[in-house]
Amino acid sequence: MRLRAWNRCEARIVRRTRYRVVVREELDDRYASAFEGMCVESADGQTVISGTITDRSHLHGLLERIDALGLELISVEPERPAARTTD
């Protein structure tokens, strides 16, 4: 049996995941349209952009938009699912 080597150029499947992206500066409502479908919250000199990312190209598009707007990226993290509680 011959195993096929994994090719780095092949895109791995990325499931719909909620992400939390933090940029430096408090963005006003004018920027909300640039991140349509995402929640944009500003406080304490930073802005948190959060929402569901559908695939890898969606995530890269979001990061490219942040770069094109000249924003300083602080962090990008998938949000952990809320823990289930039992009653």
For 4-39, the pLDDT digits (tens) are 444 444 445 457 899 999 999 999 888 888 998 999
What does the alpha-carbon distance between residue 15 and residue 79 come to, in Å, rounded to a whole number?
Answer: 13
User: What CATH number is given for 17-78 in this structure?
Assistant: 3.30.70.1560
In Å, how far are 1, 5, 63, 76 from 19, measured between CA atoms?
A: 40, 30, 12, 7
Q: Is the pLDDT assigned to residue 1 strictly greater than 60?
A: no
What does the alpha-carbon distance between residue 73 and residue 75 come to, in Å, rounded to a whole number?
Answer: 6
Predicted confidence at residue 80, as pLDDT, reads 80
| pLDDT (mean) for 64-84 | 89
Q: Delimit the domains of the chain by residue range.
A: 17-78
Predicted confidence at residue 16, as pLDDT, reads 84
Mean pLDDT of the chain: 83
In Å, how far are 2, 49, 55, 62 from 11, measured between CA atoms?
A: 22, 25, 10, 18
